[in-house]
Chain A
Amino acid sequence: MDIKGIDKIIEKHGGVAGLLIQVLLEIQGENHWLPKEALERVSERLRVPMSRIQHIATFYKAFSLVPKGRHEVHVCTGTSCHVRGASRILDAVKDHTGIEPGETDVDSKFSVETVNCLGCCALGPLLVVNGKTHGRLSPAEASEVMKKYG
């Protein structure tokens, strides 16, 4: 993502400092992470000090300051999914990707995160890949889902 793309997002939000989180969310959405250059540009344009951006970007789990893999994998470990066997789904995902939650593999193919509830407990245990929800999975089915993404 280049400076022009960032400027476009900032202009879309009118360059208002109060919409900092919206701007950051959009950059995160397009770029999958927040590079330092992008944050510096946002700081300059919105006139928000870097310390504040740093605070916000580390506060919310939606933001990432390190590059993410092409496929973002979320495994729900909330109470409902937990009792329905989320830990075994997570094991299947870990087996397939070879990484722990919070990590990205060396080929930047997968990033794995655990989440605490996605609000659709009836579908548990849940596996979300690139925003697509896969519910009521067995560990074997979870492996099948992961294979589709390589």
Chain B
Amino acid sequence: MGIVTLTIDNREVKAEEGMTVLEAARGAGIEIPTLCWHEKLKPYTVCRICVVDVDARGWTSLDTACSRPVKEGLVVRTRSAKIDRIRKTILELLLAHAPDSPKLREYASEYGADRDRFEKDPSFCIDCGLCVRYCAEVKKKNAVGFVDRGIRREICFVPEVALRECNGCKECFPLCPTSYLQAAFVLVQALTAPAQPEKP
């Protein structure tokens, strides 16, 4: 593995070939916000919050830091007026779905996002896919998956698998940036293993 040198926020950063811009930046102590990224999972690039300005030999583009591989001579800017504006809009759109998510609110205060900018559509899930991918890629249990598509897309446990696997695991619970996952699990639990009726 060769070592490449790139510039992140006017600083020279050395990184191993095959690393992503995000990993290189974090290695150098430069923070880039992420929502759908997890160290054990493949980049998913759906939340777009890690968007950065990349200049590759004069060709500038916006790209997701979590998926962009490092390259010799790359010039990356992680903060600019344009990027802050993009991140602010992304956060405002996500906050319409999950207005009380601690992680979203933390980023919102940093980027000045107004959580009441868009009409509330509380689906509570921001479709980051952390639970779905963690269950599939790390635990290989596939107890939770996506259903439907577009604006109706949501996560859904497979009751039979969840009943067998989830009680002893629940490793996806702390990953969820909102609290929708726990709610979905409690729901499927109630539907598959109804509690004994209370005596009158």
Residues of A that sit less than 8 Å from B by CB? 49-52, 54-55, 58-59
For B146, the chain A residues whose CB sits under 8 A away are: 51, 55
Bound state CA distance, A50 and B149, in angstroms? 17
**Which residues of B137-161 are within 8 A (CB) of A?**
142-149, 156, 158, 160-161
For A49, the chain B residues whose CB sits under 8 A away are: 136, 142, 145, 158, 161
The prevalent SS among residues of A at the interface is helix
Bound state CA distance, A54 and B143, in angstroms? 11
Bound state CA distance, A51 and B166, in angstroms? 14
Decide if B51 is an interface residue (CB 8 Å cutoff). Answer: no
Report the 5 A-B pairs with minimum CB-CB distance, sorted nearest first: A51-B145, A49-B142, A58-B147, A51-B142, A50-B158
For B96, the chain A residues whose CB sits under 8 A away are: none
- 27 A-B pairs (CB sep. < 8 Å): A49-B145, A49-B158, A49-B161, A50-B142, A50-B145, A50-B158, A50-B161, A51-B132, A51-B135, A51-B142, A51-B143, A51-B144, A51-B145, A51-B156, A51-B161, A52-B142, A52-B145, A54-B145, A54-B147, A54-B156, A54-B158, A55-B145, A55-B146, A58-B147, A58-B149, A59-B148, A59-B149
Minimum CB–CB distance from B59 to chain A (whole Å) comes to 35
Bound state CA distance, A51 and B135, in angstroms? 10
For A58, the chain B residues whose CB sits under 8 A away are: 147-149
For A55, the chain B residues whose CB sits under 8 A away are: 145-147
Bound state CA distance, A33 and B161, in angstroms? 23
Minimum CB–CB distance from A38 to chain B (whole Å) comes to 15
Which single residue of chain B is at the shortest CB-CB distance from A53? B145
Minimum CB–CB distance from B63 to chain A (whole Å) comes to 27
Bound state CA distance, A58 and B154, in angstroms? 11
For B149, the chain A residues whose CB sits under 8 A away are: 58-59
For A59, the chain B residues whose CB sits under 8 A away are: 148-149
Bound state CA distance, A58 and B136, in angstroms? 19
Bound state CA distance, A52 and B158, in angstroms? 10
Bound state CA distance, A52 and B132, in angstroms? 10
Minimum CB–CB distance from B200 to chain A (whole Å) comes to 35
Which single residue of chain B is at the shortest CB-CB distance from A57? B147
Minimum CB–CB distance from A2 to chain B (whole Å) comes to 21
For B148, the chain A residues whose CB sits under 8 A away are: 58-59
Determine whether the beta carbon of A50 is less than 8 Å from that of B144: no
Which single residue of chain A is at the shortest CB-CB distance from B162? A51
Query: Which of B136, B143, B145 has the most C-beta atoms of chain A within 10 angstroms of its own C-beta?
Result: B145
A-contact bits for B117-145, CB 8 A (1 contact / 0 none): 00000000000000010011000001111
**Which residues of B156-175 are within 8 A (CB) of A?**
156, 158, 160-161
Which single residue of chain A is at the shortest CB-CB distance from B156? A54
Bound state CA distance, A125 and B149, in angstroms? 28
For B158, the chain A residues whose CB sits under 8 A away are: 49-51, 54
Minimum CB–CB distance from B34 to chain A (whole Å) comes to 24
Query: Which of A49, A51, A52, A59 has the most C-beta atoms of chain B within 10 angstroms of its own C-beta?
Result: A51
For B147, the chain A residues whose CB sits under 8 A away are: 54-55, 58
